[in-house]
Structure 1
Amino acid sequence: MAADSLPTETEVLVIGAGPGGYVAAIRAAQSGLDVTLVEKDAYGGTCLNVGCIPSKALITATDIAHEASEAETMGISADIDVDFGRMTEWKDGVVDRLTGGVEKLCKGNGVTLLDGVASFTGENEVEITSDGTRQGVLAFEHAIVATGSRPIQLPGFSFDGQRILSSTHALALDSLPDQLVVIGAGYIGMELSTVFAKLGVDVTVVEMLDQVLPGYERDVARVVRRRGEKLGIDFRFGEQAASWKPTTTGVRVSTRNEDDERFEYDGDHVVVAVGREPVTDTLNLSAAAIETDDSGFVWTDEQTRTSTANIFAVGDVAGEPMLAHKASKEGEIAAEVVAGTSETIDPRAIPAAVFTDPEIATVGMTEAEAEEAGLEPIVGEMPMRASGRALTLGETDGFVRVVANGTTGTILGAQLVCPDASELVAEFALAVETEATLTEVASTVHTHPTLTEAVMEAAANAHGAAVHTLNR
């Protein structure tokens, strides 16, 4: 990173250059404000460097290899040779290009960039240190905290980067293991498990609950579990990781279930993927009277303002949902509020995606959530086995489901588990944001043959008017 000289004061201080921080800095600078952005590691934060981008690069590469090896039914036979070293180099090149672009965008918009750590010394001042050395004090009128999150360490499984790996370590492996034990079947654990299983790694997933992707509806998660089992992933549900010990070739993990039965699994490495925690330990939040919740996340209101009026917090450090696009939107809102607007964020219309096989994407309410809110929802669904485009792709697992207000027809949410779900959900996100109705979506002509037709058919199905699937 190239840093500018330390100023003594700034109108807007942004702490952290991830997808929340750099977006906030750029938007504030575009509003004519004097902006200083402080980053201790690399521009782009977790998302660009060790999260979203490198993982999706590996997912894309492994999908290509897997699809080619499984294409015999289409009359294609291929002998696939995966060079994991070159794959890793390509992934790293994608990361470098994007992180370098972030730095150029910030500088091009007039943002002052500082390398170091910012720690509050008051409600209008921070101390800047670099490599443990004090660089000076920076006064600010407004601050935006965007320090992100990091992997949670499981007791007894401290990360060492050799045997016990975080998701960051797993994405940086320079050679393929033969065996891998993954603790946690959430979205990070499932994405990584799928990647390595497609590369021929023997993967065991230990999950203390009774399904993959806890928090998602069971019929959605079930599709991903079945595909994982076809890939050879060994799921061990209802088991809790208890301890580990080194072996001559790697590590042996001991687990136990609720009946105190004990089990052991061997691997070259263990990947611990049990969630993420906010990064606040270097901020000295108490000096600025910034309040946090019981889990350590910074409290914010609908304008991303913290308990201290001139300080805002965006992204993972402000809590769930911990999504890069949510961070970016919050960064824009924080900057615009600082600039004098009255913007707010509506969490209902923030989609989420899991890049498993098949992908999962959701937005807004589920049927159960709508009922809990006192509404009378109606539901429409389109199975991918009835989609012409899904058949031509050889990807017919899953479905597209829409939930709407039974009285008004307004779309409340959607759940998708299907090819390209992360792309298809955008139409439903727009529908939730604009309060569009089932009729408006169903009557919109969708290109044929495409996966987007499933969105149209699901909306029609809710009213009993679908043509290409049996109506409810």
Structure 2
Amino acid sequence: MSDLTCKLLIIGAGPGGYICGIRAGQLGIDTIVVDDQKPGGTCLNVGCIPSKALIHAADEFHKVKRFAAGNTPLGISAASPAIDLAQTLDWKNGIVSRLNAGVAGLLKKAGARLMAGRATFQDGKTVKVTSDGSTVQIRAEHVVIATGSAPVELPFLPFGGKVISSTGALALTEVPDKLCVVGGGYIGLEIGTAFAKLGSTVTVVEAASRVLPQYDNALTRPVMKSLKSLGVEVMTDTKARGLGEAGLLIETADGAEREIAADKVLVTVGRRPLSDSGNIASLGLATDGPFLRIDDQCRTSMQGVFAIGDVTGEPMLAHRAMAQGEMVAEILAGHARRWDKRSIPAVCFTDPEIVSCGLSPDAAKAEGHEVTTGLFPFSANGRAMTMEAEDGFVRIVTRKSDNLVLGLQAVGHGVSELSASFSLAIEMGAVTEDIAGAIHAHPTQSEALQEAAFAALGHALHI
């Protein structure tokens, strides 16, 4: 066994880990990043990037099907469309490979060392890394745990064969005729929507009374309308019970049991933190349930050990992990930094998309704020009309006493790109007048943000 030393050792090369490594290297910190998977983590390899590639392919195919059916006012016609999902998979994999190489190149450029191998803690400063039968022991002054998360597996629906996780869904080479999705969160609805557009008959089974529970009904209503138009059946208050001969066994709200025919059963009931991997438990770190407990500098209960990303709790988002990783690197370089999650945007890439940042009206009221809201519908936005994207709106939530922006939400075509404006407004402490006074280009969907601010001030111009 050979030995290495470094100032900073990062376990995990996902969004949090590799960003932490890049920034630490830029700051002159001797850094090693260890992962037994390709760099980029779940997000790049089997999550965010592959799913958005599938969603894009599905959207394009769905458009062509509309043209072939003559179901469009645009005057466009097309021949009978077809899709070769294996070719789509090759295209998606090519994107992932390019980004894998890009992450590795950025770490090298910054001076951080990337090591392939499985890391196992020996103590709070020592890790054993095993790869292809060889072992290296690394001793570090500081350690960052960035081990991420994995899909939750139901004991009565173990992954394998007909039952797949999101990872398996993104690796399919053929479109299943019938797809049953267990779990009505954003992952299940994103993938379910994509396969519905590709031609699958999709059924969503959700044990709770509604899907997408992190968003209010006003935001999810256009999504439910779209799912219905795609022929997706959404069954709430319904529990999955296991596999039957032809598909998924379920129990409905009235206690009735039945079987839903399915070629594939996609289980998306959440993700679990990998806080039990690599002998992390031996460190005796303080936890909050299954998550590692951290302070506002991402320090754990053990001196010199930090934790970032999914392993530290909700929201389990790549950009949260990235922000934490960059912050930890700067703290180790002597910078004064603290973690504040108020301006983290959350995006659901359904059709239409949903984006939320800060507090919803109900959440703001629950915190004791007296609020003013302003809403502007895309049905009154010229750019949305020209894109056949009139479903949805932009909403602003402000504190009534001083017009401080507490939250911003939107649902509509392409609204994920408004997330930067939403996050910036809250991060900068904007008031309603700041947004209303900023000139927004015409014709763009972003005008709906300014119009929502006008509405909150009591003088909407285009409604």
TM-score bracket relative to the smaller structure: over 0.9
- Aligned residue in 2 for 1:148: 148
- 2:195 alignment partner, SS class: helix
Rounded Cα–Cα distance in structure 2 between residues aligned with 1:168 and 1:330: 25
Give 1:83 shift.
2.0
- Alignment-derived partner of residue 32 in structure 2: 36
TM-score, structure 2 normalization: 0.96
- Structure 2 counterparts to residues 27-426 of structure 1, below 5 A: 27-71=23-67, 72-79=72-79, 80-130=81-131, 133=133, 135-160=135-160, 162-245=161-244, 247=245, 251-294=246-289, 296-426=290-420
Structure 1 portions without partners, runs of 5+: none
Rounded to whole Å, the distance in 2 between the matches of 1:13 and 1:290 is 17
CA contact (8 A) 1:13 1:142 kept: yes
Are residues 419 and 23 of structure 1, via their aligned partners in 2, closer, same or farther at CA, if it must alter by over 3 Å? Answer: same
For the Cα contact (< 8 Å) 1:365–1:413, is it kept in 2? Answer: yes
Per-residue CA deviations over 1:367-393 (Å, capped at 9, x if unaligned) read 111111111110000011111111000
**Post-superposition shift, 1:134?**
6.0
Q: Per the alignment, in what secondary structure is the counterpart of residue 448 of structure 1? A: coil
Cα distance in structure 2, aligned partners of 1:231 and 1:19 = 33
Is the 8 Å Cα contact of residues 129 and 138 (structure 2) preserved in structure 1? yes
Letter of the 1:215 counterpart: Q
Q: What's the CA shift for 1:6?
A: 6.1
* 1:380-416 deviation digits (Å, cap 9, x = unpaired): 0001111111100001111110101111111111111
SS of the residue 1:222 aligns to: helix
Query: Residue 73 of structure 1: SS of its match in structure 2?
Result: coil
How many residue pairs align between the two structures?
458
Cα distance in 1, alignment partners of residues 308 and 409 from structure 2: 26
| Residue identity matched to 1:435 | G
Shift of 1:7: 4.7
- TM-score under structure 1 normalisation? 0.95
Distance 1:369 1:212 in 2: 18
Q: Deviations over 1:49-95 (max 9, x none)?
A: 00000000111111122123335211112232222222111111111
**Distance in 2 separating the partners of 1:66 and 1:424:** 24
Q: How does 1:16-27 map to 2 (within 5 A)?
A: 16-27=12-23
In the TM superposition, what whole-angstrom CA distance separates every residue of 1:297-317 from its partner, at most 9, and x where no partner exists? 111111111111211111111
Q: Amino acid of the residue matched to residue 154 of structure 1?
A: L
What's 2:459 paired with?
Answer: 465
Counterpart residue type for residue 100 of structure 1: A
Task: Return the alpha-carbon distance in structure 2 between the equivalents of residues 282 and 444 of structure 1.
Answer: 48
Q: Which runs of 4+ in 1 moved over 6 A?
A: none
Secondary structure at the aligned position of 1:429 is classed as helix
String of CA shifts for 1:156-179, please: whole Å, max 9, x gaps: 11101x211000000000111111
Farther off after superposition, 455-464 or 58-67: 58-67
SS at match of 1:70: helix
**In structure 2, C-alpha distance between the alignment counterparts of 1:451 and 1:70, rounded to whole Å:** 24
Cα distance, 1:285 vs structure 2: 2.2
